Structure 1
Amino acid sequence: MVGTANGSRTPVTPRQAFSVVNGGQDPVLRSGPGSIAGSDCGGIEFTREEVEALLNVKIRTKDKFNLKEKCEMMMDYIKKLRMCVRWFQEFEGELSFEHEKLKKLFESAEKKSNDMEMLMNAKEEELNSIIVELRKNYSLLQEKFMKEETDKLAAIETLMKEKDARMSAERSLASLKEDLEKAVRESSSANQKILSINDMYKRLQEYNTSLQQYNSKLQTELNQTSDTLKTVEREKAALTENLSKLRGYHASQQDQLASTKASLEESMKLKEALSSEVGCLRGDLHQVREDRDRQLLLVQDLTAEVLQYKECTGKSAAELGDLTSKSIQLEATCTLQSDTIRRLQEQLAIAEKKLEISDLSSLETRTGYEEQKRLNSELQIRVDEAELKVVEGEALRKKLHNTILELKGNIRVFCRVRPLLLDEGVDNETKIVSFPTTTETVGRGIELVQHGQSHPFMFDKVFTPQSSQEEVFVEISQLVQSALDGYKVCIFAYGQTGSGKTHTMMGTPGSYDEKGLIPRSLEQIFESRQKLLDQGWKYEMQVSMLEIYNENIRDLLASNRSCSTDSGSKQQYAIKHDASGNTHVSDLTIVDVRSSREVSFLLNRAAQSRSVGKTQMNEQSSRSHFVFTLRISGVNESMEQHVQGVLNLIDLAGSERLSKSGSTGDRLKETQAINKSLSSLSDVIFALAKKEEHIPFRNSKLTYLLQPCLGGDSKTLMVVNVSPAPSSVNESLCSLRFAARVNACEISIPRRQTSMRYLEPRLSYG
């Protein structure tokens, strides 16, 4: 398929994109105006059958001794595989973008539904809080009302007691009056007692006066009590009225809640009511039309009668005027009825419109719900399909990626030339390093000039002094990815002192753009680990760091590391290789890590513990071989797979000549140990290149530790670092020759450590 400017694709026949390598014909590539710049695939689409056919192609030549033809066919085959892999990466990116888009749509729909539900819940909670508050107010008012009722009963009881006292006083006064009358009647017989009786009468009158005053006081208090009782009655009525209002407000709130919950039922009832109203209006319209027809018939009958009367009897003009006035009245009645019919028709149209709006609203609500439900199901199906395609694409990517790396060779060599330093003073001298620009050597060739003689070299990739750390990492990123796929991967930097090995591997501290291969590799691995979680992969990772100093192993992560004797070091840290090709170092500190930040902290800690020194060739020279190991264990329960990968990142100490380094004392011993271990590495590489039966891995701790990486059980990359300074031309030439020997080695195909049955995710490293 060919991309266009607006993002669409036009079909291209994939079978025309490449030809079988055995036929020796060049592939025909077709690209459109929207093809990606710098992409080798040029917009070509590959099917599964064509990919399988491409993977199963066997390279054959007419003359098996014609290595040049075989190499050219191999390069063509590798180019086709690169096109296939890049096309698949673009396709995988599109799938990932579509997956994210569908996922966002699904999340937005789900969020909208959740927002609606939260809004309804908030409304319901608000109404419930209002009801609770009204109930509290009702309880308070009821308590206040009961208190006032109690006060009222107490006042009535006091009034009744005062009334009883008044009645008793009145009874006493009545009895005294009777006694006085009796005394008056007996006055005639008891004259001698008149004076005493008069005194008694006066006292009785005074007592009567006091009783009358007390009675008036009681009457006043009774009136006041009556007024108080009336006030209490009015307050009771006001409270009762407020309580009834609150009850009404409470009932209205409950009705509002019920109306909110039953909006759909009300709409249906409204629809039925409108339907019945329309039926009634139609009946009224029919009746009015019948009345109008009857009136018209009556007008016609009257008109006929008028004519008949005019012709037959010739009645007077007065009767004719009456008939005319009746006719006018009948016409006015007809006009009025016509207006009534028109108004009824308008009301009918309005009612029908309301009914139609209600039907549309109900239909739109139901349709929107069904559409949302259907859209959610479609989005879920598309998400599942996209996830399945991502899993299948990841499996195909791993297969193609490993096929390309196997064809390129398991020991690959990159060359990097560092920039000239300001203090090297080469302004007036001829440059000793150049980079050919021919088609075959561009990006892969380098020439070194010594004493006027040119020495050309070819590697898998050559980086100029202008190449950035990012450009170098892009070339090794797929190799780092193989560690997550279950392979052993080894990347090590080689070169003379001051050629930029540590800068390539570690970078510049505190600078994001100048980060080295080790921190960038760790960031990529942890990002890939997070992405593979969606496919069911769970990874556990462990880190160890050591250095080989003077043929002794030092643990850079040990909490209580101290300078031990040589014999103590040999006894403490021993290198072992098991039957599966795994390397173990006894008593070495291994730390579980979960993020790249934790590994960066451990790297800084190890860098502070590493052995460095000053020589005449480098202010900060690494005096030991630094080995960083990341062990990866991955489990996929759904696929029942378990993989174990290892990533070794090694910063070798720089080779140097004693005459130039000016080393003495401890520096002399360090230089001799470094040169001896690098010489042992050279012996191993030469033995592998010659395919000798005995490979001298045990000649040094470095070669014995790298035995699985160099012996064919690992994917290995060597980055040879070269100084462009004329003073270092001899060391640079030695480094390039050694790298060429490494690039010529052929080893067996590495094995992937995986299992189809489910295993518990555990690490069995020493």
Structure 2
Amino acid sequence: MIFILGKLLLPALISLLAHQELKHFSPQVTTQFLWDSHTMEVGSHNDEDNNPPNSIEIPHDALNVGLGGIGNIGNFILVEKINIEEHARCPGRPRTYSSSERKQAANQRRREARQDQMLRHLKSEVHNLRNELKLKADSFEGTCSQPKLKFQHAITNEKMKVLKQENNKLRLEVQKLTIGFSDLGNLSETISALVSQEVAQSVAKSVAQLVVQRDDFKSNYVQEMEKSKNLFNLLQEAKGNIRVFCRCRPLNLKEISSSSTPIVDLEAAEDGELGLITKTSTKKIFKFDRVYTLNADQSDVYADASPLVISVLDGYNVCIFAYGQSGTGKMYTMEGTVENRGENWGVNYRTLEELFKVVGDRKDLFDYDISVSFLEVYNEQIRDLLPLSPASNKIRLELKAAAWFHHAPILEAKVHNLGDVWTVLDDGKNARAVGSTNLNEHSSRSHCMLCIMVKTVNLVTCEVTQSKFWLVDLAGSERLAKSDAQGERLKETQHINRSLSALGDVMFALSSKRSHVSYRNSKLTYLLQDSLGGSAKTLMFVQISLLENDTTETLSSLNFGSRVSGISLGPTKKAGRQAKKGM
């Protein structure tokens, strides 16, 4: 009974299972399956009629699922068969069968054989259906992909046409831009040329204005500088182109202990007057540009001489010299002493210090070239005191013959700072002729002369000036009888007095405004001739003694100073002037 029921239900069960498996497919797959089933049943082989609509698409994964479902149907049928056979068996004790039962059993076996045959046929049909379904799926996929490829190809062709059109447009735009860039380049060059021309014209105009302003500034500067120099020069001329200062040497310990009586009255020193008490007890009054008291120090003395430093840098020749008998302090006034050099510096060192200071202050407006010569006039012979020793090789390398600046070939040492000057002066002093007399144990037997040559270039006007600054320590003036000079010392004294007399003659000729002045009567006046005339500024220190024993020499020195003080040289002129070449 169970067998019969299974046989009747088996087809329905297969159909049900097939329907359940087809539910796993998408609607497209189901439609395709039904379409194929309908086509198979009708038996039509017309491709145009059998082609599914273009909108139907069967995913490949869905086809695999459908095929798997058909395989599951076969497996299910096999399982159901086994279950039916299991239910058909009734294990129990063995029994005997009747002929009808044996016949029925034979029929049962035949039915089972037919069922087995039917099952195998069904499996074969399922297998064939599976293969046919796969072929249909592949055919459908190929059939659907061809329109898709055609459609994609059409779209691609359309896009290519659009891209070609855009490419042609871009080419035209590039050509236009190229032409535009070319025109722009030409326009840029034109604008650059115009701008360059405008800039050049503007620069030229600005330069012209600056040149005018520079010329105006230069003219105003020159005028102001000239006014300043003229005012300064007028101030110096108002004081006198030849100025005479008188200084008395204080008594030393030896003179104080000997109860010496001073013969000089300095009560009116502030008014530029002093009185000399003569042997007849009368007082003779002398008036000078400045009379120093016994308390005046080296800085007080230099303060009156310092304006002449500006004059020499402005292009004027200047001469400062000390005159007096031996032992009155001429060397101290001009050079000072080694001890306490800063405080006891004389006019020479202080002048050079001030000179380099002003040069540094003016470096932006003027260029200065400074050199020095150091010499002495001994027995009417000019001796160069610049050393030839190896110790001075550093300075010696810059020495040169300068006959154009002097009236004799005297060596110059180019100096750049105060240290170079110290080297020159210290070595030069050691070569100076010094001897002993009754009046001074270390009396200078020559006229010691330091000459500072200054070449000035005005960086604004390009004007070049050359000037000289003479600093002279004259040998002591003394009477032969009093000095007790003999032999070589007598000869030295005679030459000293002769040269000092020649200096007095020159001063007298200048005071008398004579047309001819005898500068050649002495080497001393010969060297100083361009610093004593109308183009120079001269300062003379008259050094005197307070001792009664020196009354005659003191009176002689005071008379000489008074003579010089009365000289008026008239307006001064700059020493040398020339236009700088190449400026």
TM-score by length of 1: 0.44
Corresponding residue of 2:571:
749
CA RMSD in angstroms comes to: 2.7
Change beyond 3 A, Cα 1:669–1:610: same
How far apart, CA to CA, are the structure 2 residues paired with 1:418 and 1:460? 18
Pair 1:449 & 2:280 matched: no
| Match runs of 1:105-184 below 5 Å | none
Shift of 1:436: 3.8
Secondary structure at 1:479 match in 2: helix
Pair 1:514 & 2:344 matched: yes
Write the deviation string for residues 176-216 of structure 1: whole angstroms up to 9, x where unpaired: xxxxxxxxxxxxxxxxxxxxxxxxxxxxxxxxxxxxxxxxx
Change beyond 3 A, Cα 1:726–1:595: same
How far apart, CA to CA, are the structure 2 residues paired with 1:693 and 1:608? 41
Specify the code of the residue in structure 1 equivalent to 2:252. L
Write the deviation string for residues 714-740 of structure 1: whole angstroms up to 9, x where unpaired: 111111111111111110110000100
- Matched-pair contact (CA < 8 Å) for 2:402–2:411: no
Shift of 1:428: 4.2
Shift of 1:399: 2.5
Pair 1:528 & 2:358 matched: yes
Corresponding residue of 1:708:
530
How far apart, CA to CA, are the structure 1 residues paired with 2:459 and 2:539? 32
Shift of 1:642: 1.9
Pair 1:409 & 2:240 matched: yes
Corresponding residue of 1:585:
408
Write the deviation string for residues 345-377 of structure 1: whole angstroms up to 9, x where unpaired: xxxxxxxxxxxxxxxxxxxxxxxxxxxxxxxxx
Corresponding residue of 2:230:
399
Gaps of 5+ in 2: 1-218, 391-400
Specify the code of the residue in structure 2 equivalent to 1:450. T
Shift of 1:688: 2.5
Pair 1:498 & 2:320 matched: no
Pair 1:432 & 2:249 matched: no
Write the deviation string for residues 35-91 of structure 1: whole angstroms up to 9, x where unpaired: xxxxxxxxxxxxxxxxxxxxxxxxxxxxxxxxxxxxxxxxxxxxxxxxxxxxxxxxx
Corresponding residue of 2:315:
486
2:368 to 502, 514, 539: 539
Shift of 1:455: 0.9
- Matched-pair contact (CA < 8 Å) for 1:443–1:463: no
Secondary structure at 1:738 match in 2: helix
Specify the code of the residue in structure 1 equivalent to 2:232. H
How far apart, CA to CA, are the structure 2 residues paired with 1:481 and 1:749? 17
Change beyond 3 A, Cα 1:633–1:692: closer
Change beyond 3 A, Cα 1:444–1:592: same
Change beyond 3 A, Cα 1:465–1:394: farther
2:505 to 679, 683, 703: 683
How much identity, in percent, do the aligned residues show? 42
Q: How many residues align?
A: 354
| Match runs of 1:570-609 below 5 Å | 583-586=406-409, 588-609=410-431
How far apart, CA to CA, are the structure 1 residues paired with 2:295 and 2:366? 39
Change beyond 3 A, Cα 1:431–1:389: farther
Secondary structure at 1:695 match in 2: coil
Shift of 1:635: 1.4
1:632 to 454, 458, 469: 454
Shift of 1:679: 1.3
Change beyond 3 A, Cα 1:402–1:597: same
- Matched-pair contact (CA < 8 Å) for 1:558–1:589: no
How far apart, CA to CA, are the structure 2 residues paired with 1:389 and 1:471? 37
Specify the code of the residue in structure 2 equivalent to 1:599. V
Shift of 1:552: 0.6
Write the deviation string for residues 479-520 of structure 1: whole angstroms up to 9, x where unpaired: 121111111011111000001001100001242100000000
How far apart, CA to CA, are the structure 1 residues paired with 2:412 and 2:520? 24
Secondary structure at 1:513 match in 2: helix
How far apart, CA to CA, are the structure 2 residues paired with 1:538 and 1:695? 35
Q: Which has the higher contact order (CA 8 A, sep 6+)?
A: 2
How far apart, CA to CA, are the structure 2 residues paired with 1:514 and 1:395? 36
1:724 to 530, 538, 546: 546
Pair 1:467 & 2:296 matched: yes
Corresponding residue of 1:301:
none
Gaps of 5+ in 1: 1-387, 562-573, 762-766
Change beyond 3 A, Cα 1:391–1:575: closer
TM-score by length of 2: 0.57
How far apart, CA to CA, are the structure 2 residues paired with 1:701 and 1:731? 24
How far apart, CA to CA, are the structure 2 residues paired with 1:497 and 1:688? 26
Write the deviation string for residues 548-599 of structure 1: whole angstroms up to 9, x where unpaired: 00011100014179xxxxxxxxxxxx998x8xxx64322x211111001111
- Matched-pair contact (CA < 8 Å) for 1:640–1:756: no
How far apart, CA to CA, are the structure 2 residues paired with 1:628 and 1:760? 33
How far apart, CA to CA, are the structure 2 residues paired with 1:690 and 1:756? 32
Specify the code of the residue in structure 2 equivalent to 1:710. L
Pair 1:548 & 2:377 matched: yes
Specify the code of the residue in structure 1 equivalent to 2:485. S
- Matched-pair contact (CA < 8 Å) for 2:260–2:547: no
Write the deviation string for residues 649-669 of structure 1: whole angstroms up to 9, x where unpaired: 111000111222122221111
- Matched-pair contact (CA < 8 Å) for 2:336–2:345: yes
Write the deviation string for residues 629-653 of structure 1: whole angstroms up to 9, x where unpaired: 1111111323322222211111100
Write the deviation string for residues 359-417 of structure 1: whole angstroms up to 9, x where unpaired: xxxxxxxxxxxxxxxxxxxxxxxxxxxxx999997655423211111222211111111
How far apart, CA to CA, are the structure 1 residues paired with 2:545 and 2:222? 45
Pair 1:657 & 2:465 matched: no
Corresponding residue of 2:48:
none
Write the deviation string for residues 84-130 of structure 1: whole angstroms up to 9, x where unpaired: xxxxxxxxxxxxxxxxxxxxxxxxxxxxxxxxxxxxxxxxxxxxxxx
Corresponding residue of 1:672:
494
Corresponding residue of 1:419:
250
Change beyond 3 A, Cα 1:390–1:461: farther
2:519 to 652, 675, 697: 697
Specify the code of the residue in structure 2 equivalent to 1:498. G
| Match runs of 1:256-275 below 5 Å | none
- Matched-pair contact (CA < 8 Å) for 1:635–1:759: no
Change beyond 3 A, Cα 1:710–1:392: closer
Write the deviation string for residues 503-539 of structure 1: whole angstroms up to 9, x where unpaired: 10000124210000000000000000001013x2111
| Match runs of 1:77-116 below 5 Å | none
- Matched-pair contact (CA < 8 Å) for 2:273–2:285: yes
Pair 1:736 & 2:565 matched: no
Shift of 1:708: 1.7
How far apart, CA to CA, are the structure 2 residues paired with 1:650 and 1:491? 6
Shift of 1:756: 7.7
Range moving further from structure 2, 456-465 or 428-437? 428-437
Shift of 1:691: 3.0
How far apart, CA to CA, are the structure 2 residues paired with 1:394 and 1:467? 35
How far apart, CA to CA, are the structure 2 residues paired with 1:525 and 1:454? 41
- Matched-pair contact (CA < 8 Å) for 1:575–1:584: no
- Matched-pair contact (CA < 8 Å) for 2:535–2:574: no
- Matched-pair contact (CA < 8 Å) for 1:575–1:705: no
Secondary structure at 2:374 match in 1: strand
- Matched-pair contact (CA < 8 Å) for 2:250–2:294: yes
